[in-house]
Structure 1
Amino acid sequence: MFKKVLILAVLISFVSCSSEFSEKEKQEYTVKGKEIAQATFKELSTNLMTQMKAGGPAQAIPFCNQEASPITEALSKKYNVEIKRTSNKLRSCDNDPSEREIEIMDSYEQLMLENKELKPIVEIDENQKKHFYAPIKIKANCLVCHGKVNETMTVETDSIIKSIYQFDIATGYTEGDLRGLWSITFNK
């Protein structure tokens, strides 16, 4: 009898510690992740566009520097998650990618070279935390601050960026390029 109880306990432990999503859970976390990423993008872009209309890049860049993190943190609290935007071409060192995020961005870059669709990824890490990753692609209006100098970005805008972000390398993009990654970690 003791052997049966022990075997059952081990099986229950193994099942409850599984690091795999069921298909239903994958779909649920993909939907939740997309919803959170879209809500965050909408909030950030709406605020940024308001600043662009009010004062162009000279007003929008400092706003982004000071307010993007608090906006993201507020949405993280609202959704009970950790929301991160990262890239392999950073503007702020506060957004350094993890090894896993670098692997995913490299994978997305390869898929783009092969003209394949970039799909969100959901997974469970070794600590049983659930993650959602999705690509961030450059849109035409992003090029004002992330494009190429003297093409889609002015020298003046580049100077403003470099005065605020001393180590910026988040320029040189064209529309449709992979800008980075949404990385959302669920707290529950």
Structure 2
Amino acid sequence: MMLKKITILFVVATLFSCNNGFSEKEKEEYTLKGKEIAQASFKALSTELMAQMKAGGPAQAVPFCKEQAGPILNEVASKYNVTIVRSSDQLRSCKIEPTERELDIINNYKNSVAKNKELKPIIEIDATNNKHFYAPIIVKANCLVCHGKVNETMSVKTDSIIKLTYPFDIATGYSEGDVRGVWSITFNE
């Protein structure tokens, strides 16, 4: 019984220390750095995808995204010494399953949108002392060509291309302003 109490106290202490591991100055610094990295990641991906869309439409952009999104993000991650993941509860590829924490954050962001609350980045330290930054990925109008609703913002042809490229895709049906997922950034310090 005493061992059980000690274990519970250890777990509670660990959780408490994880939630309060940042000073206010550190929270601000990591939030600013996380925002910078998320914006750089978005810019790198969207610049390349828009170029592919202009060159050959979804028939060129979808396969490009499948093959090159990872390397593009890895290049940005290397520059900043972080690990970058785009996580979602509606997957395009089953290779990148969200963690339980990422799912919680995505659901919290979706609930906040439903209640017209402001979406703010989250910065936290986990039980193994890793520092994480999370920020929402919001669907923009140009995203709807490949993530929208068939026969509304996405053509049947594009839907067919996506299904051929990603057989298990469920990353469609979005509207502008929806939460698509999260930027999940881990600092490698």
Fold in common (TM above 0.5): yes
Q: CA deviation at 1:77?
A: 1.1
| 1:158 is the counterpart of 2:143 | no
Unaligned runs of 5+ in 1: 1-13
- Partner residue, 1:116: 117
| Count of equivalent residues | 172
Counterpart-to-counterpart distance in 2, 1:168 and 1:133? 23
Q: Deviations over 1:40-96 (max 9, x none)?
A: 100000000000000000000010010000111111111100000010001011221
Q: CA deviation at 1:97?
A: 0.6
- Partner residue, 1:128: 129
Normalising by structure 1, what TM-score? 0.90
SS in 1 for 2:95: helix
Counterpart-to-counterpart distance in 1, 2:110 and 2:50? 28
Counterpart-to-counterpart distance in 1, 2:179 and 2:53? 23
Larger-gyration structure (1/2)? 1
Report sequence identity in percent. 67
Counterpart-to-counterpart distance in 1, 2:96 and 2:34? 19
- Aligned pairs for 1:1-188 within 5 A: 18-19=17-18, 20-188=21-189
Counterpart-to-counterpart distance in 1, 2:95 and 2:40? 21
Counterpart-to-counterpart distance in 2, 1:133 and 1:94? 20
Q: Deviations over 1:12-57 (max 9, x none)?
A: xx9xxx5311100000000000000000100000000000000000
Letter in 2 for 1:149: V
Counterpart-to-counterpart distance in 1, 2:130 and 2:44? 26
Counterpart-to-counterpart distance in 1, 2:77 and 2:151? 37
SS in 2 for 1:133: strand
Unaligned runs of 5+ in 2: 1-12
Q: CA deviation at 1:143?
A: 0.2
Letter in 2 for 1:161: I
Q: CA deviation at 1:110?
A: 1.0
**Cα RMSD (Å) of the superposition?**
1.0
